[in-house]
A = this chain, B = another copy of it.
Amino acid sequence: MGNTASPLAKPRQDRAITTGCADCEIRAIGVCSSLAPGELERMQRIVREAQYEEGQLIFSEGEPADNLFNVLTGAVRLIKLLPDGRRQITGFLFPGDFLGIALNATYAYSAEAITGTKLCRMGRRDIETLLADIPNLEHRLLGEAAHELVAAQDQMLLLGRKTAMERVASFLVSLSERAQRHGFPGNPVSLAMSRTDIADFLGLTTETVSRTFTRLRKAKIIALEGNGLVQLTDRSALDGLIAGGNSDAA
């Protein structure tokens, strides 16, 4: 599990948003898209930008949930651990995704930056005040939570009932579709995460993930272009491998 880096370091920076929420890079897809101009200004006063480096811990499972975040750039993994070290990744986050919906007292999982990552941070107190005043925001959050719930259920189906091949195929397709929804290229799909991360997300071992990639490559269904890029050469074959089950898992 190599890239589990210094869990102690503080985020490199933590300052008021410089450019302003109005021209936030993820404005269109983030929760803020539901805000009126005046509300956006209030939002701007409570958010801070925070930068994390590769492998850095953002928060830990069990810790008081004092902050909510929006991913601005980079990628984040959500992790649950068993005492003996077995690891399950419960989700990957990309720009525009919301982090920390648990309005519970403590975080239900740890979050780590996969690559260099910029987050938009909101204090829980502040956001609760805002939520009380802007029902629309709460509504949007509920929608976000509902969406996550759907993804979680797809993932349960994957973990409980799919074969290794089906898991990997589902993962690739789902990642590709998600990239597209967020305005990134969907076909050479970019894997920001390591094989170990993928394995811990799919409930497999690194070796099995690797072997499955190899099988897909030899069958000319995908092509590994290096640098984490995967060309989905035969999309319909991939769809076939998913066993017709739905594909929206990540």
Contact = CB atoms under 8 A, between A and B. Distances in A.
B203 A160 contact: yes
A143 B103 contact: yes
A106 to B, nearest CB: 10
B203 A161 contact: yes
A239 interface: no
A52 interface: no
Nearest to A106: B150
B103 A146 contact: yes
A135 B141 CA distance: 13
Contacts of A108: 149-150, 153-154
Interface in A73-118: 78, 80, 82-84, 86-88, 90, 101-104, 108-109
Contacts of A109: 153
Interface in A123-149: 131-132, 135, 138-139, 141-143, 145-149
Interface residues of A, number: 45
A152 interface: yes
Contacts of A156: 80, 88, 90, 152, 155-156, 159
A243 interface: yes
A37 interface: no
A88 B135 contact: no
B152 A82 contact: no
Given A109-B153, A203-B159, A245 B146 contact: no
B152 A88 contact: no
B104 A157 contact: no
A155 B78 CA distance: 14
Given A82-B161, A86-B162, 16 more contacts: A82-B157, A82-B162, A84-B244, A90-B156, A108-B149, A108-B154, A109-B153, A131-B139, A138-B139, A138-B142, A141-B142, A142-B145, A149-B149, A152-B152, A159-B160, A159-B203
